[in-house]
Structure 1
Amino acid sequence: MLSAIFALFAGLSVVDSAEIARPRSPIVLERSGGFQIGGKTVTTNSTFGPPGQTQELSCDHGYIEYFIPWQPRKTNIVMWHSSSTQVWQNRWDGGEGYKDMFLRRNYPVHLWDGPRVGRANWACVPTQYYPNYASDHGNFVAWNLGPSYKNWWPDVQFPTTNDAAWHQATSARYVEYDTEENVQLHSSAAAVAADSGKIGKDIVYLTNSAGGLRAMMTATKSNTTNIKGIVTYESIGYVFPDNANITAGRGGFGPFVVPLAQFKKLAKLTAIQFVWGDHRADSYEYVQQSRLAASLINKYGGNAKVLKLGDDAGLKGSTHIPFADIDNAKVAELLDEFLERNGLDGYGDEDGDEGRM
């Protein structure tokens, strides 16, 4: 038993020696920390104390862990995934993830846990967890690693012979509630965070999967201009205006339909990018939804584009989580280009207090 455990962790340390030896700029932080934001306080009559005494529960808040470089750029990158922040911290094989990559580039990085998940799991209502013993098999296909369980795409950017990497990938999950209520709850808390100024006045949401829908909804709810952009990798779910003849979905993956005035807030963002891997066909319903959403955003003066990593950038074998792929440095270069092209890469004094309590 112990030998199996040692073998598992030994597999995690096998990172390309060339990567270890390659000179890197140091990560120098001015500060780091975390805080809760949003949510509410529920007050009820006590069932344990004296009659008439009230009890309170603070709940349904979000949680932000922040890392502020010594010489920060103006754009604050909020990394948002609905199932785990771990996907931003390391590559599939344990190599450097997006969090450190963009701290080295001097971007303030914020890891976001939405209400009722991860480090923000104090809910205002009862929640339940039921083990789903088909999750590993389902994750394999959902994450676009291959057409069926352990039937890898021939060019997939995953360490297919590294069992430890697969174990880390599939176990790094939060309990996830993909419901309409949860999308509304997450986006409302995130809008409070964006409007507060505590994560800066120039925010780009970097999202994946169901996080993309939540970020779009956040932008439609925000009452400030602090949100500057959204980059979403393989977003499952989109937002549309109520004049587009779209029928709203009843679940947590949309489509969501909002009043036109709210939808137009997406058109006021500096830029939006919907990114897809090369194993997602143009006929895939969410690829089609991303193109329609981009077209409608641009109709109202926005700047939204769809990027296919294979067709447009020549990257092959991308998974559903390309920023954790073996070639994530190449995917990061495309994000560099997006930020630079849209003027979101500059330095400058920020008169806010991003990341401060």
Structure 2
Amino acid sequence: MLLSLLILALPGQSASERPHKPITLSSTGGFTIGGRTIPAPSNPNLTLSCDHGYMEYFLPLRPRKTSLVMWHSSSTQVWQNTWSGGPGFKDLFLQRDYPVYLWDGPHVGRANWPCSPTLNLPTSTDATNFLAWNFGPSYKEWWPDVRFPTHDAAAWHQATSARYIEYETKANVDLHARAAATAADSGSAGTNIVYLTNSAAGLRAQLAATLSATTNIKAIVAYESIGFVYPDSANVTAGVGGFGPYVVSGAQFRKLAAVPAVLFVWGDHRGEGFGSLAESRRVAGLINEVGGNARVVKLGEVGVRGATHVPFADLGNEDVAELLEGFLEGEGLDGYVDGEGEGE
């Protein structure tokens, strides 16, 4: 893993110069999972199926054994394209023969059929998005090296308008985590799952691991996770909102630690004083104390500079993909279903 991370700091062929092979799929589709059925509010004699999640899948003709579940906090669009409209992680990893699943959690995106009332109050979301995605220190003041086409107004419009309505409440975190645990345990996305998460989805995936009844979750790779899960022995006060901290029993936390690999990834514009970065270091340490395998990586330290809060959608996201590919290889998650190597 360390060797793979250091490769980008060395001179040589850029990841963006890597030949892109055609994508050959055996099938695509989608399905709902989780949720519940309740009496319809307008008529108790009828029912309402709600609070489910939604999976869209893309299966290569010759697949690897590990499924990549790409879990947005903002929108599935950020996994599909770069900010400039180029290939996103979905295509980059389909080219590498990984089955790809795009996950919409309950109440958002294509899973927006809730069991309870929801409320959205329109506000200055463009400015909020700019800061939340760490494009710069203040609205429309870009980081000088940011991996975004800063002079392309259409790219900015696409980026900010692609974001879904989010419900950052404790109840919604619980709902997402339960649905994701059900998805993992069902085997419908395979029995070797890596949850790739962004932002507040990182908290939800950590919690899902504590609720899962199987060993199907093989890794969590959390890009700029906002929110963390702690054991009740850590002397942490549980939060009341949608960003944690979450406190679980020692037994539940050991289930998170039992996930074979957990990787927290941060961009170079996050200083050590950034609260969530500090939390990730602490939680990684707690996971390792009980026998787990957790690490924290800052992209700027391995040659990827100018990253935003959504590094897999940045210009030059091939470099970030190379790091993830090295991680998967290092953890033995890159094998093919047929048991053979990649070949030609």
Same fold, judged at TM 0.5 (above)? yes
What TM-score results when the alignment is normalised by the length of structure 2? 0.92
Residues 1:324 and 2:317 are matched in the alignment: no
Cα distance in 1 for residues equivalent to 2:265 and 2:273: 15
Give the corresponding residue for 1:43: 39
1:107-163 Cα shifts (integer Å, max 9, x gaps): 00000000011100000011112111x211111111111101111111111100111
**The one of 322, 337, 344 aligned to 1:333:** 322
Tell me the distance in 2 between the aligned counterparts of 1:224 and 1:231.
19
Could you tell me which residue of structure 2 aligns to residue 288 of structure 1? 278
Letter in 1 for 2:311: P
SS at match of 2:300: coil
TM-score of the pair, normalised by structure 1: 0.89
CA deviation digits over 1:15-43, x for unaligned, max 9? Answer: xxxx9998521111111100001000012
Match runs of 1:1-357 below 5 Å: 23-44=19-40, 47=43, 54-132=45-123, 134-311=124-301, 313-349=302-338
**In structure 1, how many angstroms separate the alpha carbons of the residues matched to 2:41 and 2:305?**
59
What is the number of residues matched between the two proteins?
A: 325
Asked if the contact 1:180–1:251 (Cα under 8 Å) also holds between the matched residues in 2, the reply is yes
CA distance in 2, matches of 1:75, 1:120: 24
Query: Is this contact kept in 1: 2:82–2:314, CA < 8 A?
Result: yes
CA RMSD between the two structures: 1.6
The superposition leaves residues 256-293 of structure 1 with CA deviations (integer Å, 9 ceiling, x where unpaired) of: 00111001012111111000000000111100100000
Q: How much does 1:46 deviate?
A: 5.8
Question: What are the superposed Cα offsets for residues 41-92 of structure 1, whole Å, 9 maximum, x if unpaired?
Answer: 0125864xxxxx7010000000000011000000000000122100000000
- Unaligned 5+ runs, structure 1: 1-18, 48-52, 351-357
Which residue identity lines up with residue 26 of structure 1 in the other structure? P
Matched letter for residue 331 of structure 1 = V
In 2: Cα distance, 1:80 partner to 1:256 partner: 19
Taking only the aligned residue pairs, the percentage that are identical comes to: 64
Moved over 6 A (4+): 19-22
